[in-house]
Structure 1
């Protein structure tokens, strides 16, 4: 939302600037941008930025987090009369696979994981958490990100070095590990009457020592996934010349720039699957293993991780290790998560592609030859907002 706010604010300034622009010799203004056209374009961008933010939070954060902790399947015995009769239906079996001979009024039902379907997950959350499920954990999420921005700003204020900013971001993530874990606990558990800050695990320091290593690994991979596509994309083609004052891009360059941005998204998805997903799964499952006993999970979830966790009361750590967290996530769960990631990525990329098409149509219609200057200004705003 910071980028959208910056875009709108600077866009208004851009409209004012070009509405009054004249050449130094008082000749008629060149490439003037109509204020009403710029307003329509800015509102379109703002709408899509909000839409992308909502999709990113609900599908890219809430649903994926649940997918990382849900057990692969659930089995249960139900009365035979509650099941719709089906011709040639198989007989009931016991958990060990043997045929059930002594009890004819029950049937074994094996259900698919809830998170195997985006639609089913959304329906499940709506039933269990209400129609405002899209805002689950949003308060903790906002505080976590806002505090992280302040910490990063304080640590990187001494220099404009991008490397220092990356190091500052990693330090901020590790320092705020407990708040991050609190957000995960809110997402994976049933709605609670407690405020989000009342759910921060205590004692704070001892809890932080348990979750900090997993968060540190995740923070490093997240920075690689975020920064590397930008560095690669801005190192060639049209975007490489955008900071050159003498560069005058036209509609041909606009198409090339859109292609480079699409390439950046593909590279981001690839790095996300190969690096960020394993690190995130391990971190989320370590945090999930520390969920307080009084909190009920909102999806089926094996708190013992197949017996790998030992409660603190009997001398254990009360959590799962990083390596065990990833290994306990079996191949069936990994395939389900990968399918969900592909669905989420396709949904977000389709939305982005729709935005690109709409933006290009509006650019042709509203700006004409003045779009080159608007394009350069948007690129500068995006660089300052990122």
Structure 2
């Protein structure tokens, strides 16, 4: 009987050989190219899936074979826009979804035909325009929590994992919308055990697909699958059931159309959902509504950090159009941020949350898909990552170029992106069974991204430079996306509280009726005007008038000393040169002797409560070389401009303070022309020299000691250009990192300060003239009496 064993093996080998030959050369799909090994041995596809390489391998096949690839005996993958319409579109019988033993026919993802329509109708209210508007306050609540936590991270200057924070936010939000309660991730800074189980359970799906195809062989593979993965999937389903049961027992109306309330609207009716269907949908919505959104946000953030020009453009758009953080709402981000939408679309192209294809089964009769004849019962899909990164569809496919989605590029025949096949991008699927949560996802992504870009400057850590090189198990297996955040230079006169990495609140939310913060509840930048700055300083200084004069004594001493030194030097130089330029040169030399004093004054102004007394804040001599280039630019430009009126006026002596010019007659009186030129110089030179002044202040601010807490949060690293407290911000970086919106506010503030200075100058002149008039009048009366 032993001869039966080799005979059985021979028969099986001959059978497999005949099947393989038939699949390769006689099958109705033989006209479609593809990898012959995968067609002959379909198990190779499952091995690729289990090892996380399926998307990489499929993309390589499309690069080699073209727009249609046969990746199995009865499976074809497409990357064309027409395939979306033919497989998933309207106007034809819907193809059945490919199910596995892991699929739940009771949820909206797996349901077909009338059942899918019934599920979609039950959720329609929650995802309607009115439902989304009602959910906005909930979304803002969780985004506020995210921003608060990121404030703590920015304050610490420690690297953090953006993938984790995005996931914590989206899972907390979707837990609230689906089950009526948050998972508490943003409060604890850790994943809820059920959320962690979701990540583990996703990997099991590849093993389940192998089991369905090869029940016997799969038992061998199962031996190498960690038991925790199967246990994680069981925990995931059990906890989902518990949450739904809890929500059904409470059955409370929360005042807005969350998912469960929407599904409960027709409970008990013929077209309503059963309790088992409610549970299945709530479970699937957690994954579909959180993991995918967090994935896209992670991908967009990564590619923006890898593409500085795109980051600069989108940050400028957000900060210039959203004047305050409160302006960042559903309506505003949808209507006013086209470049950010382009960035999101480009992120969806480069890093789609679901990189694989959504498989369908062709009908029992032959069909045509994208021009190819397809035999009955063939598995079909549009493989997303392959379609979105194919040279057949997109120019410059491996570069992150948001401009390709802007109308000026789309409608310009001379643009290299004019012929991009943009309608192939369908990350939310296509047709009557596309993702019902598309609008919620776009609102959520825009709001979160805009708030982060408004609040923070981000820097990618070196270890995450190749973050996009990932494996996939239906969903991406995302590694940590490490970043360093600094507070953006968009000051908030009443900044929100932030939470430290240890979970302790660093400062409490300000109460609007608190007398210490009265008048500072407006969330606009304090640099928008002198009035708001004065209110802010008074609030931080306990409400006293003296708080409005902080730094005056230090600056006055600096002015007196530099002026005295300058006069002394100019006396010697003036004796030699007999020119008013000696005064200016003397002032320049005096100012360059004490630039660290002026830097200490900047630190005194921007620090909340300096731990050292004024004079002890003076930086050491080792900092002179760091601040000297900015001081040279500022003082050099200042003196050069002040030299102009002396060039055109009669000889005069200029006594130069830091920002005032006093014309003193050399014995002949001052002509009207000289006086006019002097006054014009006084009024105009702050505007001409404002870039140099701004650069000096920003360079000095980058050298603020670590122990000093800034009175207004700002990014000490200036977008990664300067090491915190290290004073390594260059003149060029000090200017290029200065946002246009901040420049405008700075100029406006200078204009107001100059106007006040001019008004005081005129008032002083009038008082002097009035006093002289009174004295002259009194003298004339006295003379007449004599």
Distance 1:342 1:209 in 2: 31
Equivalent position to 1:214, from 630, 640, 644? 630
Deviation per CA, 1:58-99: give whole Å up to 9, x if none: xxxxxxxxxxxxx98663799xxxxxxxxxx96697997852
Q: 8 Å contact 1:308–1:324 — kept in the other structure?
A: yes
> What is aligned with 1:113?
525
Deviation at 1:335, TM superposition (A): 1.4
Query: Structure 1 residue 243 and structure 2 residue 667: aligned?
Result: yes
> What is aligned with 1:165?
583
Aligned CA distance change for structure 1 residues 92 and 327 (closer, same or farther; 3 Å):
closer
Aligned CA distance change for structure 1 residues 349 and 206 (closer, same or farther; 3 Å):
same
Deviation per CA, 1:163-197: give whole Å up to 9, x if none: 33332322221221111111110011112242112
Aligned CA distance change for structure 1 residues 320 and 76 (closer, same or farther; 3 Å):
farther
Query: Structure 1 residue 99 and structure 2 residue 443: aligned?
Result: yes
RMSD of aligned Cα (Å): 4.0
Deviation at 1:240, TM superposition (A): 11
Long gaps (5+) in structure 2: 1-318, 342-441, 455-491, 493-522, 653-662, 781-786
> What is aligned with 2:640?
224
Equivalent position to 1:282, from 679, 682, 695? 695
> What is aligned with 1:175?
593
> What is aligned with 2:608?
190
Deviation at 1:320, TM superposition (A): 0.7
> What is aligned with 2:753?
344
Question: How many equivalent residue pairs?
Answer: 269
Distance 1:369 1:242 in 2: 29
SS in 1 for 2:443: coil
Distance 1:353 1:336 in 2: 26
Query: TM-score under structure 2 normalisation?
Result: 0.30
Distance 1:154 1:234 in 2: 23
**Structure with the greater alpha carbon radius of gyration:** 2
Deviation at 1:157, TM superposition (A): 4.5
Long gaps (5+) in structure 1: 1-70, 79-88, 248-252, 372-386
Deviation per CA, 1:96-145: give whole Å up to 9, x if none: 785249x9xxx999942111121111010011124212332234324423
SS in 2 for 1:287: helix
SS in 2 for 1:99: helix
> What is aligned with 1:199?
617
> What is aligned with 1:133?
547
Deviation at 1:292, TM superposition (A): 1.1
Distance 1:358 1:138 in 2: 24
Deviation per CA, 1:348-379: give whole Å up to 9, x if none: 223333444454455555426999xxxxxxxx
Query: Structure 1 residue 75 and structure 2 residue 325: aligned?
Result: yes
Q: 1:10-29 counterparts in 2 under 5 A?
A: none
Which structure's residues are more often helix, by fraction?
Answer: 1
Q: 8 Å contact 2:642–2:685 — kept in the other structure?
A: no
> What is aligned with 1:299?
712
Aligned CA distance change for structure 1 residues 243 and 346 (closer, same or farther; 3 Å):
same
Q: 8 Å contact 2:551–2:605 — kept in the other structure?
A: yes
> What is aligned with 1:377?
none
> What is aligned with 2:740?
331
Aligned CA distance change for structure 1 residues 361 and 146 (closer, same or farther; 3 Å):
closer
Q: 8 Å contact 2:558–2:597 — kept in the other structure?
A: yes
Aligned CA distance change for structure 1 residues 193 and 308 (closer, same or farther; 3 Å):
closer
Distance 1:289 1:262 in 2: 39
Distance 2:682 2:738 in 1: 23
Q: 1:148-163 counterparts in 2 under 5 A?
A: 148-159=562-573, 160=575, 161=578, 162-163=580-581
Query: Structure 1 residue 264 and structure 2 residue 678: aligned?
Result: yes
Deviation per CA, 1:321-357: give whole Å up to 9, x if none: 0111112112212211122222222222233334444
